[in-house]
Amino acid sequence: MTQRVYFLAHGRVQGVSYRYFAQKKAAEHGITGWCRNTEHGKVEGEAQGHEDSIQLFLKELDKGPTHAHVVKLDKEPRDVQEGEAHFEVRR
């Protein structure tokens, strides 16, 4: 079953390639969506894919890349969007 989730990563997630880590992991799991830095030092985004893939993806985001330090990863369900082809890093 396809699902879509909004996520908000707290901690040291900017300046450590977190967004590009998310993009790489999304591609590995066949997930579409987007992510971007927020003005408050966090990274937010939406991810859409098979339920099992989303759970694995969120688990990896909760850990983050080598130099990141994720303190908390908030998650909220969202409505599935049609026609999305890839996972993009927004500025």
Place of tokens 């998310």: 22
Catalytic-labelled residue, pool 19, 78, 90, 91:
19
Is 19 assigned a catalytic role? yes
Per DSSP, 69 falls in state E
What is the Cα–Cα distance from 68 to 16, expressed in whole angstroms? 6
4 has catalytic annotation: no
From the candidates 12, 37, 78, 91, give the one annotated as an active-site residue: 37
**Which residues are known to be catalytic?**
19, 37
